[in-house]
């Protein structure tokens, strides 16, 4: 079953997606990562995207949909996780059309429910490997790297995301409430929505997801 995550910023969708992708052979498609990869190239488009992200706003629907389409058509028969798309009802409708075209109908939408204070602490403590993208957290003992500032997996340097400061987090959270939350109703009506408590650790949320996927004994 393919998975779509809808969640407030720093609810854990990236971490949980990575766990699912490595344990159950999912292709992890993160639209945030697609944008950050473009930024890394230093292109003019990347500079424009960086400005949008730093303001806590959403990138244009047309651009992000184009980026997503490329990834989805590349995935061949592998199951996928969509992490970060759709971010508004318009994108949800586009995705439904795209799924029809690509004959994809086995999917589930997981809403990661989290309190704002917890999400904020996660965002402000998040540190990401510049090289492989692995995520750690300064404020949670179970999420710290073995050596401060260094990635356990590839020895890359750990840095904070430019949009993980208090001001941008608040704006991202407001954007989520205004334009992303209505997506939940859209999928509820399609009977695709499941709610996951993401206030505890990523592993606790993962256990609930495994039950929903029917792989709890794996
Ligand atoms: P994320 O890594 O999912 O937290 O995304 C980081 C930022 O990328 C967001 O705050 C948005 O500015 C942008 N972004 C990611 N996905 C989308 C999307 N589907 N539509 C518009 N902007 C997006």
Cα 59 to middle of ligand 1, angstroms: 7
How many other C-beta atoms are found inside a 10 Å radius of the C-beta of residue 207? 13
Residue-level pLDDT at 74: 84
Which ligand 1 atom is at minimum distance from the Cα of 56? 10
Residue 218 has pLDDT above 90, yes or no: no
Pairwise CA distance, residues 12 & 202, whole Å: 6
Rounded mean pLDDT, 173-197: 98
Q: What is the mean pLDDT of the chain?
A: 95
Over residues 106-146, the pLDDT tens digits come to 999 999 999 999 999 999 999 999 999 999 999 998 899 99
**pLDDT recorded at residue 216:** 83
C-alpha torsion angle, residues 71, 189, 211, 9 (rounded to 10): 60
CA 56–ligand 1 middle distance (angstroms): 9
CA 7 to ligand 1 centroid distance, Å: 11
Residue 169, pLDDT score: 98
Residue ranges of alpha helices (H) inside the chain are 13-24, 31-40, 44-54, 61-74, 89-101, 116-125, 166-175, 182-189, 202-213
pTM, 2 dp: 0.94
In the reported structure, the alpha carbon of residue 101 is separated from the centroid of ligand 1 by a whole-number distance in angstroms of 24
Q: Residue 161: what pLDDT?
A: 95
Q: Which residues are catalytic?
A: 13, 87, 126, 161, 172
pLDDT tens readout for residues 52-75: 999 999 999 999 999 999 999 886
Tell whether the model's pLDDT for residue 76 goes beyond 80.
no
Alpha carbon distance 80, 78 (integer Å) = 6
* Residues at CB less than 6 angstroms from ligand 1: 9, 31-32, 35, 52-53, 57-59, 64, 84-85, 87, 91, 163, 172
Of ligand 1's atoms, which has the minimum distance to the CA of residue 33?
2
C-alpha 86/C-alpha 181 separation (Å) is 10
Distance CA 41, CA 25 (A): 28
Residue 39 pLDDT greater than 80, yes or no: yes
Q: Whose CA is nearest to atom 1 of ligand 1?
A: 32
Which of 138, 124, 111 is closest to 199 using CA atoms? 111
Instruction: Give the long-range contacts of residues 67-76, CB within 8 A, separation 24 or more.
Output: 67/31, 67/34, 67/35, 67/38, 68/29, 68/31, 68/34, 69/98, 71/29, 71/34, 72/29, 72/98, 72/102, 73/102, 75/27, 75/29
């Amino acid at each position: 079953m393919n998975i779509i995550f809808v969640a407030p910023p720093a609810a854990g969708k990236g971490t949980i997606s990575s766990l699912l992708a490595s344990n159950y052979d999912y292709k992890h498609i993160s639209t945030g990562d697609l944008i950050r990869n473009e930024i890394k190239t230093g292109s003019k488009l990347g500079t424009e995207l960086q400005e949008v992200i730093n303001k806590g706003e959403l990138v244009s629907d047309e651009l992000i949909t184009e980026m997503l389409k490329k990834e989805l058509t590349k995935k061949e028969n592998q199951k996928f996780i969509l992490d970060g798309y759709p971010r508004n009802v318009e994108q949800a409708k586009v995705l439904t059309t795209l799924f029809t075209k690509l004959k994809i109908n086995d999917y589930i939408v997981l809403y990661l429910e989290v309190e704002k204070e917890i999400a904020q602490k996660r965002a402000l403590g998040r540190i990401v490997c510049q090289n492989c993208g692995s995520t750690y957290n300064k404020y949670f003992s179970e999420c710290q790297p073995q050596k401060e500032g260094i990635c356990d997996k590839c020895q890359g340097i750990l840095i904070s995301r430019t949009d993980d400061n208090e001001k941008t987090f608040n704006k991202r959270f407001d954007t989520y409430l205004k334009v992303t939350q209505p997506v939940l109703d859209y999928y509820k009506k399609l009977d695709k929505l499941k709610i996951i408590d993401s206030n505890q650790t990523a592993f606790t949320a993962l256990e609930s997801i495994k039950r929903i996927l029917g792989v709890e004994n794996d």
